[in-house]
Amino acid sequence: MSPMLPPEGFRTRGNVPRGTRLVLIRHGEAYCNALGLVGGPIGCGGLTDLGERQAHELGGRLARTREFFDATALYTSVLPRAIQTARIIAPGLPTHLEAVADCELCELHPGAADGLTWDEMVARFGGPDWDESPAEPFSPGGESWLDFYERCERALLGVVARHRGERVILVVHGGVIEQAMKMLAHEAPGVRLRLRTENCSMTEIEFDGEHRRLLRYNDVAPLSAE
């Protein structure tokens, strides 16, 4: 016999998800993270050894739990760190999924600063102050904080429209996840949340029309003790 539920007006637990669920997985540690480089296509460098271990740990968890075996699609950004992470975790996902790489899901496009150290970037271009000027480009040819939000919103809502009522896996970046969290909270495009989204963590957001609901944030499969 099914247990009776508390009255709707009193209930604290939400209903079973019925909308589109986007599972946003941040890539494992990349060389740009470890070396302090601006990590566009030039600076990315792919996953470090630690980043590969993080991805294998997550893939192992997903294979054991089969928690995403109802997923219908898999997307990544076009940056090596995201593509490599998706490849490593693939054994924990349905076998029929083929990763679709989409530049719209990339981290903020850095422009001319790509591949520089952060010190070099500041010395050459000064660095934007997005708290004061969110429309200022990161560097010549790069995106602003507002540009980045608009791209992520367009990309994520596009995925929702293509996969209504489904669960979709996206291997992306910390910045993309921050923009998704702003969409969840209906925050203004210029807001900066300054989240600490961990490598290979999972964030799941339900999109059901105008209603959005956080199902998990920063869910990490911890590395085994060495």
pLDDT in tens, 37-81: 999 999 999 999 999 999 999 999 999 999 999 999 999 999 999
Distance CA 27, CA 14 (A): 29
pLDDT at 225: 45
Spans of all domains in the chain: 20-219
The CA-atom distances, in angstroms, between 28 and each of 93, 122, 129, 160 are 17, 26, 27, 25
DSSP sequence for 164-198 = TT-EEEEEE-HHHHHHHHHHHHT--TT------PP
Least confident of 13-17, 20-24, 186-190: 13-17
In the predicted structure, residue 133 carries a pLDDT above the cut 80: yes
pLDDT at 222: 75
Q: What is the pTM of this model?
A: 0.93
Task: Please state which CATH class domain 20-219 belongs to.
Answer: alpha beta
Any idea what the Cα angle at residue 182 is, between residues 66 and 92, rounded to 5°?
A: 15
pLDDT at 10: 62
Give 13's pLDDT tier (boundaries 50, 70, 90).
confident
pLDDT at 226: 41
Instruction: Read off the pLDDT of each residue in 100-126 and give the average, rounded to a whole number.
Output: 97
Both structure tokens of 189: 């495009």
